[in-house]
């Protein structure tokens, strides 16, 4: 069972990324009748590295970012399920995103972080190699996932974005975290449910 560094401290995402944060009008601004000229259609994404690739997830889907915590392996689950971890008293599955995206496994380096994402009202931890920052993406800089990226990996991609000369893959959590994929192949309702007779 892989032992991981205990994650005692959870970093506040807003503090960490405020230098790179965009100037959006706050509610106070609106209340005082002061309209700052900003684009309201910019979407903030948390950008992170997995292997050599750069990925992004809309910030609204991320609850917190934590250092890697203890995980308890769960048998009969897919290889990308590292196990379960305990986040503030709630047990959540922790996924090795590198394995999930078929990029090997996440190196447990100093920069490794767990993104606690909320999807379909369930929390899941995503282990990534490094969190790069928060960026705002204008809709015109987003392109639909190109059809050429075929195969299962293509399903994980919701869009591609350009930022700072790099290509950022915006993940589709719906497919990345499809509940049906969590169980190991061959393990399902049919196994062990046959009973007698």
Partner 1 sequence: MSDPPKPSAEFLSEAQEVIEAFSRNLLQLDAQQRTGEYDPDLLNAAFRAIHSLKGLAGLFGASRVSALAHALESTLDSLRLGRLPLSQPALDVLFEAVEVFQSMLAVFGTEDAETVSTDALLSRITALSPDAEDGGEGSDLVGLDPAILGVLTEYEEHRLRENVRLGRRLFRVHAAFDLLAIDVGIESLKGKLKEFGEVITYLPSADSGSDDRIELDILLGSDATLADIATGVAEDGVRVFALETSAAIPETPAPATVADVAPTPTPTPAPVHDDVDMVDASTAMSLRSISQTVRVDLERLDVLMNLVGELALVQANLSGTLESVRAIRGAADVSRELQTHLRTMDRKLSLLQQSILDVRMVPLGQVFDKLARVVRKLGREAGKDIRLVITGAETELDKLIVEELSDPLMHMIRNCIDHGIETETERTSLGKGATGHIELRAFQKGNRVVIEVEDDGRGMDWRLIRDKAVLRGLIDDLESREMSRQEVIDLIFVPGFSTKDTATEVSGRGVGMDVVKTNIARLSGLIDVDTTPGRGSKFSITLPVTLAIIQALVIQTAKQTFCIPLNSVLESIMVSEADIETVEGHEVVSLRGKTLPILHLSRIFGLQTNYRYLDPARIYVVIVGLAQHRVGIVVDELLGQQDVVIKPLGRALRGVPGIAGATELGGGRTVLLLDVSVLVEEALGRSDATPTDPTPMEAANA
Q: How far apart are CA 130 and CA 132, in angstroms?
A: 6
Specify the residue, 47 or 101, whose C-beta has the smaller distance to partner 1. 101
Contacting positions for partner 1 (CB under 8 A): 1, 6, 8, 69-77, 81, 84-86, 88-93, 120, 122-124, 177, 179, 182-183, 187-189, 191-197
Supply the minimum distance, in Å, between the C-beta of residue 94 and partner 1. Answer: 10
Q: Tell me how far CA of residue 2 lies from CA of 69, 70, 80, in angstroms.
A: 11, 9, 13
- Sheet containing strand 53-58, edge to edge, reads 130-137, 43-50, 53-58, 166-171, 157-163, 142-144
Supply the minimum distance, in Å, between the C-beta of residue 197 and partner 1. Answer: 6
Supply the minimum distance, in Å, between the C-beta of residue 111 and partner 1. Answer: 22
Dig out the tokens for 24 from the structure: 């959006």
Supply the minimum distance, in Å, between the C-beta of residue 71 and partner 1. Answer: 8
Maximum distance among all Cα pairs of the chain, rounded to whole angstroms: 74
Specify the residue, 62 or 95, whose C-beta has the smaller distance to partner 1. 95
Specify the residue, 74 or 103, whose C-beta has the smaller distance to partner 1. 74
């Amino acid at each position: 069972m892989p032992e991981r560094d205990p994650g005692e401290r959870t970093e506040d995402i807003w503090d960490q990324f405020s230098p790179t944060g965009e100037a959006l009008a706050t509610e106070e601004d609106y209340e005082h009748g002061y309209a700052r000229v900003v684009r309201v259609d910019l979407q903030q994404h948390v950008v992170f590295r997995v292997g050599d690739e750069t990925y992004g997830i809309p910030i609204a889907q991320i609850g917190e970012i934590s250092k890697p915590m203890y995980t308890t392996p769960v048998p009969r689950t897919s290889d990308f399920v590292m196990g379960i971890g305990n986040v503030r008293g709630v047990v959540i599955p922790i996924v090795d995103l590198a394995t999930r995206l078929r990029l090997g496994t996440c190196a447990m380096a100093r920069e490794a972080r767990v993104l606690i994402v909320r999807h379909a009202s369930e929390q899941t931890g995503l282990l990534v190699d490094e969190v790069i920052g928060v960026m705002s993406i204008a809709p015109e800089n987003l392109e639909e996932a190109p059809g050429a990226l075929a195969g299962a990996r293509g399903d994980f991609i919701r869009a591609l974005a350009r930022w700072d000369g790099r290509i950022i893959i915006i993940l589709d959590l719906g497919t990345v975290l499809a509940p049906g994929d969590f169980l190991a192949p061959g393990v399902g309702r049919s196994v062990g449910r046959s009973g007698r007779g």
